[in-house]
Structure 1
Amino acid sequence: MDFLISQIKGIGTRKEKLFYRLGIHTVTELLQYFPREYEDRSHVQRIGETPAGAAPVLICGTVGMIQEVRPRRGMTILKMVLSDGSGAVELVWFNQPFKKRLFKTGMTLSAFGKIEWAYGRRQMNAPETEPGPVQGSGFMPVYGLTDGLYQTDLRKAVQQALKIAAQHRDIVPGWEGARQSGYSVMEPLEAYQSMHFPVSMEEQQRARQQLAFEELFDMQLGLLLRRRREGLQQGIKCAPNGPLLQSFIRKLPFALTQGQTDAFLDIQADMEGETPMQRLVQGDVGSGKTVVAAMALAKIVENGYQGALMAPTEILAVQHYEEFRRLFHGLPVRVGLLTGRIPAKEKAGLLDALRKGTIQILIGTHALIQKDVVFWDLGLVVTDEQHRFGVRQRAALRQKGRAPHTLFMTATPIPRTLTLSLYGDLDVSSIHDMPPGRKVVKTYVVGNTMRRRIYTFMEKLMAQGQQCYVVCPLVEESETVDLQAAAALYDQLRISVFKNRACGLVHGRMAGKEKEAVMDAFQRGDIQLLVATSVIEVGVNVPNATLMLVDGAERFGLAQLHQLRGRVGRGNLQAYCILLSKGGSEETRQRLQWMETIHDGFVLAEKDLLLRRSGQLFGYAQHGLPDLKAADIIRDVSLLAAARDKAADYLKGPVMEQTILEALQRRFGAAFEGLLKN
């Protein structure tokens, strides 16, 4: 059972809503709301030996003079001297006159705060105080807050929650499965007590490691259970490669790279096996993932089944459709396209052909998961840029077949160290090499003083018939403000800088048809300069586009910058990526320097881990995984690997699946379904 946060003493209706803002609705959620840092109150410092400007300290002394000053109407300043024989400090509070009645000259008082040097004496502003000597009270938790809540509110609520947990131990997340591993040495309640109110930081670290392991163990157990469920299904056992696939490969106007060959050999082995394939193919933009997917679809068609490819945007779906028509030209394979803009009459004919099996490969957007889309016999589902879809969308497409093979594709490389977490239940194939002849995109980081020279270079390229992108800077977390900035830059470029060139603007608030018209015009070459906001997906294959200017590059992350760079250099011409930066922190300069010197998306993804935290990982929630409370995917990689091994061993034993499901429900709540459905 669990208790609502409102059942804690001192939390009324107003505070209850404030706790909701922090995502805290129950006592269990409160126990899992761990401190972001701790204040060291383990030792009392001597006042005269504490340097000003240092970290907050705990002091204890005798109260001397108490004085209340009213410098002007509406303001009161309470001043009090505290001394301990080594020195004295002045404690100061603004507009808190009620505190005066809490203190008496001669009493012993403990105070915690930061000592500053002001007006020729030590001063501590708005300290926390407690009557009497407080020696060795340990480390006080500091929590993330919201307006209207204070540290004391959280601390008191957590103390109450720990008392409730002591009486009702089943509300504490975790179970015996993880605790048999040897990583759990504390009692569950003891571990939570030590996370919130540790006596020492060594104790806190032991508690954190234990709780992190148990959390990762449960997560990996869910992923492995999902994989085992898939393995129990009877899959489509494909025959060895036949004449259709062999003809498809012979027709290709290029030789496959070693990475493409290796990825398809993995897929081939999966599809010829007994259980449904669950494989992710990851590789940089332009590494040739689409051809690998087409080969897999040719194989399923050759075995008498249909295939589907779902893309996140209509632009990408149309791009795939046109490429597949070229790849399958001359072969007995009919490819169809389904998006939200297909006219009703055309859609009816398409769906009828799909039900009869005369369309063997259907490409589309999320329109593929609509109820009226019925396949004759769906054998392979391919999801492109799968992180762009929610868990239920991906599952809905698979459910249109009888345990079909599943292939995921992503151009956002995930570091090797994270695949166990994000794709713990998938087999992963990575394409590291690029097609031969592909030129490296020359990347330059420049300051705003180079803007005029950049525009001159862009004019030179466009005079030669080439095309350019300009991505507008992120102004703030507001699409409206970003759009206003983009519109202003677009007007400046088309009216004064490039008035003799055809310019276009795309942004996230444009209607679908309007956006499609601009993108189509750019793809045809009717528009030479495309200005885009940061929210727009510019993933159209335009081989003639050779320059990407990212304005305000310091505001973008590494993964985002690398994805943008991948939109140019898709033809035989030399391409350029210019990152216009206004400076920034040392971290920002490091990020941009890596962009200049590193062109491998996998290496950049690894570097990105040095600058980020697991909660900021791109697409993490979209994988259906719950938020982690104690564990940190980046710093706990070795713990994650151990948790996976222990979870795998545990599943080999005589375990009850229902027991596991109950444990996952207790740990993750409703989010645990993401571990079992993907």
Structure 2
Amino acid sequence: MTRSIFMDSSIRRLPGIGVRREKLFARLGVTTIPALLQYFPRDYEDRSHVVPIGRADLERKEPVLVCGRVGTIQEVRPRRGMTILKVVLHDETGAVEMTWFNQPFKKKQFHTGMTVSAFGRIEWNYGRRQMNTPDVEEGEPQGQGFMPLYGLTDGLRQSDVRKAVRQALTLARTEQDLLPAPCRPTSHSRFPLVEAYEMMHFPKSREEQEKAREQLAYEELFDMQAGLCLRRRREGRRQGIKCGPNGPLLKQFFDQLPFALTRGQTCAFLDIQNDMEGEVPMQRLVQGDVGSGKTVVAALALAKIVENGYQGALMAPTEILASQHYEEFIRLFQGLPVRIALLTGRTGARDRVQLLEDLQSGAVQILIGTHALIQDDVQFAALGLVVTDEQHRFGVRQREALQKKGRAPHTLYMTATPIPRTLTLSLYGDLDISSIRDLPPGRQVVKTYAVGESMRRRIYAFMEKTMKAGQQCYVVCPLVEESENVDLQAATALYDQLRTSVFPRFRCGLVHGKMAGKEKEAVMEAFSRGEIQLLVATSVIEVGVNVPNATIMLIDGAERFGLAQLHQLRGRVGRGSLQAYCILLAKKGSEETRQRLHYMETIHDGFALSEKDLLLRGAGQLFGYAQHGLPDLHAADIIRDVALLSEAREEAASFVNGHGAEEPVLRALKRRFGGSFQKLLNN
């Protein structure tokens, strides 16, 4: 069988791409001709009209396209280490002096009398028209229209990428296999594929580019959704663990619960119950805001699998969260014939050996832990259910490694970061989703205020009054920069100031990411017991702390935190019946910063906030694609293309389920995404 040209076409096939430029393109993630064709412009410049040099509107300060003949060429060296290249370009209406600083190599590109097209801003300086560092191409404009602007790396110019793309398009006209065609003709295929790609890179108008983008985006989403449908169909062929109806253990569990389940919890467990009583392995995501009671739902699912003679595992991202789950499970299962164990990196060697023996024999029925659960020597007698908490904090391989310790176990994912509908459609097209949108009775909305530095004294006075009343407070330190050392110094400095100068009568604690696990645990436990009144922390407390007596969350430097992170931090308070407050101490920032803080003040629903976060930050900055194992999208944008995504999902499902042929889907996925999707399909 001959190998696909699509997979083997290195960009070295293109004229002018040697070893050096190949390395530069590789920095952009472009190593093949298909990857180059899918390296779409980040923006476009309007070069559809040539402006006479002498009539350019100097007041508008917008880039213009001019064309003329080269006159004088002069290289000036005003001082050591600096060169200025000056090239005069003139037409019948006037002249403009083009200048480049410290780019002496450009002098070789010009000779007197040659025709040149130049694009840039024309300004009036020193009594003449000047154009600094314009984008220049030899010859008259050949229907340039909207010229593409690509993301670059140091050493690579726009003209280099444009030239390479044009050569790749020429090659694609004769070798159609270079283009990633969808696995079947779609309802959005308006143009031949090569034309659509050409219109995407070198459109004649914005309207033409958008039509091409919509076609390519739809085809990309169609292939991705076809792949997810195929994965789901394969999962459906696997024989899962068919659980029986709820029995005595579940009845006892429900009877001794100290509270009634909320409507959201009840609906989520009914979904899980139906899945587990079916013949196909459950693949379900339970999403719910901080404090919505996902842990109880997970406990019910684990009780059901134990009642059916199997074991369950719950994996959490941190030791603190794993320990918290373990303690909660011990309370929930108190008096029931279920043995629960905890396994983390802190489990002693002797205890670990005994625990693993009991796990392999089946004596341990529910194992809770961190990524320590996926180590090779952790063997289950009969693993029937895997629960992954805060699942986006684990990589794909870590989650898979735990699932492979059983034979087609049921799988339950939990997240306290509500995911917008647009992301659930794309990232979790192969999962069923349950959402818990209500909070347990008695919980009050956390009152949130965004304030400036001038309010710091009043905030401290309010915190002192609160601590005198017996309640506790958090202070989250500002992020100084992307450096743990610098942020730690800032946290330590604030901690020292608060405990010595501001709150000397109260016991303060400090936790940060660089502390040893045992030390961090000791501080957190002291705070949980009420021995520490004020906890100063970095954002390490974002997940895994449950202290109902804590009623104030002060986030210092709130302008430096993202919306999702601010909401997660706010969720650390208001976990009891007392009124809680979240104070966002922020400096004046950009309009986006002000909007983010306003959303925090006025929106308390995590699902609504997640939609706002998606709009503010863009999908690329949210967790998901890399962690879930899906490849990057090139033409599609799941924020603006949610309608296309829904349509593509329906059409792809109809195609995959109606035709039953896997080969066209696999071939299209390989052509478009390479091997990355294969790993997702073969899990």
Query: Which residue identity lines up with residue 269 of structure 2 in the other structure?
Result: F
1:157 aligns with 2:200: no
Q: Tell me, what secondary structure is at the counterpart of 1:572?
A: coil
Q: Tell me, what secondary structure is at the counterpart of 2:449?
A: strand
Query: Which residue identity lines up with residue 5 of structure 1 in the other structure?
Result: I
| Cα distance change on mapping 1:126 and 1:276 into 2, 3 Å | same
How far is the alpha carbon of 1:260 from its aligned partner? 0.9
Which of 645, 657, 663 is equivalent to 2:662? 657
Which of 422, 429, 444 is equivalent to 2:427? 422
Between the aligned partners of 1:208 and 1:549, the Cα distance in structure 2 is: 45
How far is the alpha carbon of 1:100 from its aligned partner? 5.8
Residue 251 of structure 1 corresponds to 256
Q: Tell me, what secondary structure is at the counterpart of 1:325?
A: helix
Q: Tell me, what secondary structure is at the counterpart of 2:616?
A: coil
Alignment of 1:330-341 (within 5 A): 330-341=335-346
Query: Which residue identity lines up with residue 148 of structure 1 in the other structure?
Result: G
Alignment of 1:71-90 (within 5 A): 71-90=78-97
| Cα distance change on mapping 1:268 and 1:146 into 2, 3 Å | same
Deviations 1:608-667 (A, max 9, x none): 222121211233321121111111111111111111111111112334324422322222
Between the aligned partners of 1:201 and 1:188, the Cα distance in structure 2 is: 19
Kept after mapping to 2: 8 A contact 1:626/1:674: no
Which of 27, 38, 46 is equivalent to 1:32? 38
Residue 232 of structure 2 corresponds to 227
How far is the alpha carbon of 1:153 from its aligned partner? 2.1
How far is the alpha carbon of 1:202 from its aligned partner? 2.4
Between the aligned partners of 1:262 and 1:74, the Cα distance in structure 2 is: 72
Between the aligned partners of 1:201 and 1:345, the Cα distance in structure 2 is: 68
How far is the alpha carbon of 1:235 from its aligned partner? 1.8
Residue 368 of structure 1 corresponds to 373
Kept after mapping to 2: 8 A contact 1:388/1:619: no
Alignment of 1:253-652 (within 5 A): 253-535=258-540, 537-652=542-657
How far is the alpha carbon of 1:517 from its aligned partner? 2.0
Between the aligned partners of 1:567 and 1:249, the Cα distance in structure 2 is: 27
Between the aligned partners of 2:123 and 2:292, the Cα distance in structure 1 is: 58
Which of 196, 220, 229 is equivalent to 1:215? 220
How far is the alpha carbon of 1:674 from its aligned partner? 4.8
Residue 13 of structure 1 corresponds to 19
Deviations 1:487-540 (A, max 9, x none): 222222223222332222222222222222222222222222222223554421
Between the aligned partners of 1:330 and 1:522, the Cα distance in structure 2 is: 28
How far is the alpha carbon of 1:29 from its aligned partner? 1.8
| Cα distance change on mapping 1:456 and 1:230 into 2, 3 Å | same
1:56 aligns with 2:63: yes
Q: Give the fraction of aligned pairs with identical amino acids, expressed as a percent.
A: 74
Between the aligned partners of 1:662 and 1:273, the Cα distance in structure 2 is: 32
Kept after mapping to 1: 8 A contact 2:145/2:203: yes
User: TM-score scaled by structure 2?
Assistant: 0.94
Deviations 1:29-64 (A, max 9, x none): 222211101122121123344322432111124556
After superposing the two structures, state which structure 1 stretch, 424-433 or 473-482, moved more.
Answer: 473-482
**Structure 2: 5+ residue runs without aligned partners?**
none
Residue 134 of structure 2 corresponds to 127
Between the aligned partners of 1:174 and 1:511, the Cα distance in structure 2 is: 52
Kept after mapping to 1: 8 A contact 2:510/2:536: yes
Deviations 1:398-431 (A, max 9, x none): 1222211111111000112321111111111111
Kept after mapping to 2: 8 A contact 1:43/1:136: no
| Cα distance change on mapping 1:133 and 1:438 into 2, 3 Å | same
Query: Which residue identity lines up with residue 220 of structure 1 in the other structure?
Result: Q
Kept after mapping to 2: 8 A contact 1:221/1:648: yes
1:204 aligns with 2:209: yes
Kept after mapping to 2: 8 A contact 1:391/1:674: no
Between the aligned partners of 2:80 and 2:239, the Cα distance in structure 1 is: 81
Between the aligned partners of 1:283 and 1:592, the Cα distance in structure 2 is: 22
User: TM-score scaled by structure 1?
Assistant: 0.95
Deviations 1:109-168 (A, max 9, x none): 432111223335432112233454325322221111122222122222223333343443
Between the aligned partners of 2:170 and 2:612, the Cα distance in structure 1 is: 44
**Structure 1: 5+ residue runs without aligned partners?**
none
Between the aligned partners of 2:469 and 2:49, the Cα distance in structure 1 is: 72
How far is the alpha carbon of 1:602 from its aligned partner? 0.6
CA RMSD between the two structures: 2.2
Residue 146 of structure 2 corresponds to 139
Between the aligned partners of 2:668 and 2:351, the Cα distance in structure 1 is: 49
Between the aligned partners of 2:236 and 2:345, the Cα distance in structure 1 is: 35
How far is the alpha carbon of 1:73 from its aligned partner? 4.8
Deviations 1:164-212 (A, max 9, x none): 434433232234x24x222123222222222222233222222211221
| Cα distance change on mapping 1:6 and 1:301 into 2, 3 Å | same
